């Protein structure tokens, strides 16, 4: 009985990370290339894209609001072309693009957990920015 109560209490928190991404941050095959190509942003051509799946929504990247660059989420069921082009096999997968070119990839393992955190993603963004200056 305790376990059931605990599960019922935790369910809203587990689904919160997925539901707090507003519609304008979701992209699909129709606008994927345009969004990741960069150039339309004030200070950076770097874009972070998370390939997401309904079956693993509990393990999505919940700290997306803290990123210093534009962020988009792709439902892999609605973007089969992007999924194929970028060889996405697991969700979540996070890719960092620089002017439309894929620079860094963080893929979930067989346990379906994302093996990175906000700090590691931010460090990768800083490295990409530094390499742009040369």
- Of residues 48 and 16, more confidence is placed in 48
DSSP characters for the chain? -HHHHHHHHHHHHHHHHHHTS-GGGEE-TTTHHHHHT--SSSS--EEEEEEE-GGGGGGS-TTGGG-SS-EEEEEGGG-HHHHHHTT--SSSEEEEEETTEEEEEEE--TT------HHHHHHHHHHHHHHHT-
The residue-averaged pLDDT of 100-117 equals 93
The residue-averaged pLDDT of 96-123 equals 94
| Mean pLDDT (the chain, rounded) | 84
- Of residues 23 and 6, more confidence is placed in 23
- Of residues 20 and 4, more confidence is placed in 20
The residue-averaged pLDDT of 25-43 equals 80
pTM, full prediction? 0.80
pLDDT tops 60 at residue 39: no
pLDDT category of residue 32 using cuts at 50, 70 and 90: very high
Structure tokens at 54: 């309904």
């Amino acid at each position: 009985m305790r376990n059931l109560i605990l599960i019922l209490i935790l369910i809203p928190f587990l689904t919160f990370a997925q539901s707090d991404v507003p519609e304008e941050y979701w992209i699909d095959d129709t606008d994927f290339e345009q969004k990741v190509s960069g150039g339309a942003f004030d200070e950076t051509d770097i874009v972070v894209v998370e390939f997401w799946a309904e079956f693993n929504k509990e393990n999505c990247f919940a700290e997306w609001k803290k990123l210093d660059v534009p962020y988009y989420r792709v439902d892999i069921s609605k973007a089969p072309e992007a999924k194929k082009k970028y060889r996405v096999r697991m969700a979540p997968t996070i890719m960092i693009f620089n002017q439309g070119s894929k620079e860094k990839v963080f893929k979930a393992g067989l346990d379906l957990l994302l093996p990175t955190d906000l700090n590691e993603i931010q460090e990768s963004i800083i490295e990409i920015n530094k390499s742009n200056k040369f």
